[in-house]
Amino acid sequence: MAVEKLNQEISVIEVHDNENKHLQQNFNLFSTCAFQISLICSALAIGAYLNTVIGEGGSPFFIYGFILTAFFNLIICFSLAELASVYPHSSAQIHWTYVLASDNYKRLLSFITGILSCAGWIFACLSSTYVATVLLFALIELYQDFIPKTFHYYLVYTGIFLSGFILNAFAVQILPICTKFVAGIVNIATLFIIITLLVKAPKQSSSFVFKEIVNDSGWSSNGVVFFLGLLPSIASITLFDGAVHMTDEIIQPERNIPLVMVISNSFSAIIAFFAAIVYMFCVKNVDNLTTPVGGQPFVQLMYDSFDNDALTILGVIFLIISFIGSSYLYYCSTSRLVWSFANSNPLPFSKKLGSINKKFKSPIWALGFVTILCLILGCIMFGSSSILNAVLGSCMVCINLSYLIPLTCLLIKTKCSFYRFDSYFNLGKFGMPMNIASVIWVCFIMVWLNFPLVNPVDSTNMNYACVVLGITFLFTIGLWFLYGRKHYEHNIDLKH
């Protein structure tokens, strides 16, 4: 009965009509795949965590942990892709929660999911832009006697955000072209770095890569260290809903969006796996990665292993362009999420955030909101580095929790039966076990995403992601009782 009721509800949910869409359909399957690949750029992103890898179990835990993480994270991706096919909507997990939760709780749960997903994506915008900024100064520090001050970082950080705002707000029609360009740079950068490392770098032994466990964390249990070593992989294979927020800008979203999610994220995971092995074989000086130049182990790896200034400069420039381009796409996807969520009136000024500029065909108010909020959050870099790291790390916590809610609602609604969706992309008899595995996996990694990396724990090395999550929840509950409880009503069709 639960399955029949679910399919009945699916049949009455309307798909967006073209004439009711205020966002132009500029994207196709290929450009949206390029969008998702460029957004996460997994093979490059995982290089930013090499200093963590060295002390948290070394190469073996990194490689084997990546396999484990990629397997379960792709299960989450496939589970969400099925929902994207059945319920195509640019608010993604917010919409899925609303249609799957019970009538008594759907408004509250979708509201919570909305705040969590928006917070996670805003933290991701901050993180990606900050990495691009640090990469730029790391390149300068390699060859110049220059120690940047905090305001230097903030000025470059601000410049990246403002340039991204201008592109996304006033040049939306060329976004697909820019996306393909960024995808090309990301793939060229990946190939250049991998091939150059294989040609130039002295190689570590297979024992170093696959057997020699290193535990400098202070935790006595290698099991604890193994699970802490999952963090780089979790952060590099994620944000599966990025393409879903472009639902209103792609033809046949019920068909194309799931294909984008499955193709792009699977491709990224496979390339990142081979890249991770190459990085580990080509580590020339392990000690240098623990204290890398400019705080960027990827730059240090190239500097040590290339042993050539021109190649190193070219490699880092590729990285900088890739992460700046990726940041622009983060702003794009996040603005669509905020725009879509705002159409359900979660905030007093939602009408502005939920509007589309008629001239430029872009959600300029939502883009401005994301930009201003990230510039304000960026001021944290003038304060404690621990708080900054907590905000950067909270991205994965909020995003994964926003995945957990609709998947749990689905299992409750179907009573864990072997349902089969009547949709273009469905998991059939594998759907239920994959959904269960997704829920268990998210609950499991929540522990480690909030776990301190080193022992003994003090105020300087504590993982404050749980504090940021707590503040986010307090903000969510306060906003619900002050405004959302009376005014929030999820907009299923985004028809104005």
| CATH code of the domain covering residue 419 | 1.20.1740.10
- Residue pLDDT, tens place only, 352-411: 999 999 999 999 999 999 999 999 999 999 987 777 788 878 999 999 999 999 999 999
395 occurs within a structural domain: yes
457 occurs within a structural domain: yes
- Residue pLDDT, tens place only, 245-299: 999 999 999 999 999 999 999 999 999 999 999 999 999 988 888 888 888 999 9
Rounded mean pLDDT, 339-356: 93
Query: How many Å apart are CA 199 and CA 54, to the nearest integer?
Result: 23
Residue 337 is part of which domain span? 2-8+29-487
pLDDT at 420: 61
| Radius of gyration from C-alpha coordinates of the chain | 22
Tell the residue number behind the tokens 């090309």, with chain if given: 184
Query: How many Å apart are CA 168 and CA 64, to the nearest integer?
Result: 39
* Residue 70 in this model has a pLDDT that exceeds 60: yes
13 occurs within a structural domain: no
50: nearest Cα among 316, 301, 228:
301
pLDDT at 462: 86
* Residue 17 in this model has a pLDDT that exceeds 60: no
Q: How many CA atoms lie within 13 A of 395 on its CB side?
A: 23
Rounded mean pLDDT, 232-243: 93
Q: Tell me how far CA of residue 319 lies from CA of 180, 301, 412, in angstroms.
A: 16, 13, 44
340 pLDDT band (50/70/90 cuts)? very high
DSSP E strand stretches across 108-232: 214-215
* Residue 9 in this model has a pLDDT that exceeds 70: no
493 occurs within a structural domain: no
108 pLDDT band (50/70/90 cuts)? very high
pLDDT at 136: 95
DSSP 76-138: HHHHHHHHHHHS--TTTHHHHHHHHS-TTTHHHHHHHHHHHHHHHHHHHHHHHHHHHHHHHHH
Q: What does the block give as tokens for 311?
A: 């190649």
53 pLDDT band (50/70/90 cuts)? confident
85 occurs within a structural domain: yes
56 pLDDT band (50/70/90 cuts)? confident
495 occurs within a structural domain: no
How would you label 52-62 residue by residue, b for 16+ Cβ within 10 Å and e otherwise? Answer: bbbbbbbbbbb
131: nearest Cα among 279, 275, 294, 11:
294
- Residue pLDDT, tens place only, 413-422: 988 777 667 7
How many distinct structural domains can be found in the chain? 1
Query: How many Å apart are CA 113 and CA 37, to the nearest integer?
Result: 24
- Residue pLDDT, tens place only, 132-187: 999 999 999 988 888 899 999 999 999 999 999 999 999 998 999 999 999 999 99
* Residue 493 in this model has a pLDDT that exceeds 70: no
439: nearest Cα among 415, 417, 408:
408
Q: 419 near 366, Cβ under 8 Å? A: no
Q: 274 near 79, Cβ under 8 Å? A: no
One-letter amino acid identity for 48?
Answer: A
24 occurs within a structural domain: no
* Residue 227 in this model has a pLDDT that exceeds 90: yes
Q: What SS3 class is residue 310?
A: helix
208 occurs within a structural domain: yes
Q: What percent of the chain has pLDDT above 70? A: 94
